[in-house]
Each structure stands twice: as C-alpha cells, then as structure tokens.
C-alpha cells in the first residue's frame, strides 16, 4: 500500500485544482486525473506484492496446506528440504529466491517510469 499512497501524495494539488476549475466531479477527477497519474505506484505495489507473496511461508502453509503438486511453493519446498535434512537442495532453492528477489527489484527500479523521470 505504501507505493500507492506515495504515488497519490506525489500528484500534488495542481492537477486536482485544474480538474476542479473545469468543473469535473470528484469521481471524474479521481478516475481521469488521479488514477492515471498514480499508475507507477500501482505497478510498483503490484510487483512488490507479487514478490512478497512468492516468498510468503506461514499463510501459504496455514491456508493452502502442503498438498504435493497442488499447493507447493518454493518457501514450503525449502522448509520440506530442511525438515528432511537435505541442506544442499534447501541452499540452492534459497539462493534462487535471493536471485529472484534481486532481479525483481532491479527490474522495478530500472523500468519504473517514476524513478527515471525524477530529478
């Protein structure tokens, strides 16, 4: 939620005041002005939410369970490897998760238009 909140705060009052001078309703201002200007925040929030969910362990194990070939995720697989004392496989999967996290963050900061246009 923080990237979305920051995106809406970064819009400022100028564009909203311009919409008000053109007699746009509050809903029209929100959907036609605020949401398009905050689109990078929505993109950032979605990507970070996805990356966080991929690494989530407790909720996935509690709600989804650990049904082989149905609810298996990498974090639960790491847990299973450690539980079976298969540390080499657990280390490889953990390293893959670190690499995946790094690549997601690198892509986010490289391709986010809000970051490129900042002074």
pTM of the model: 0.62
Asked whether 101 and 117 are in contact (CB, 8 A), the reply is no
What is the secondary structure of the chain as a DSSP string?
Answer: -HHHHHHHHHH-SHHHHHHHHTT--HHHHIIIIIHHHTHHHHHHHHHHHHHHHHH--HHIIIII---TTTS--HHHHHHHHHHTT-HHHHHHHHHHHHHHHHHHHHHHHHH-HHHHH--
Which segments in the chain show pLDDT lower than 50? 118-119
For residue range 4-19, list pLDDT tens digits in order.
898 899 888 899 899 9
């Amino acid at each position: 939620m923080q990237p979305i909140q920051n995106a809406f705060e970064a819009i400022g009052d100028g564009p909203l005041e311009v919409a008000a001078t053109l007699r746009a309703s509050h809903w029209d201002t929100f959907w036609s002005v605020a949401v398009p200007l905050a689109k990078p925040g929505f993109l950032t929030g979605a990507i970070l939410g996805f990356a966080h969910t991929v690494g989530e362990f407790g909720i996935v194990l509690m709600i989804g369970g650990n049904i082989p070939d149905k609810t298996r995720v990498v974090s639960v697989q790491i847990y299973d490897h450690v539980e079976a004392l298969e540390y080499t496989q657990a280390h490889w999967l953990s390293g893959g998760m670190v690499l995946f996290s790094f690549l997601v963050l690198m892509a986010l900061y490289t391709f986010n238009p809000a970051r490129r246009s900042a002074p």
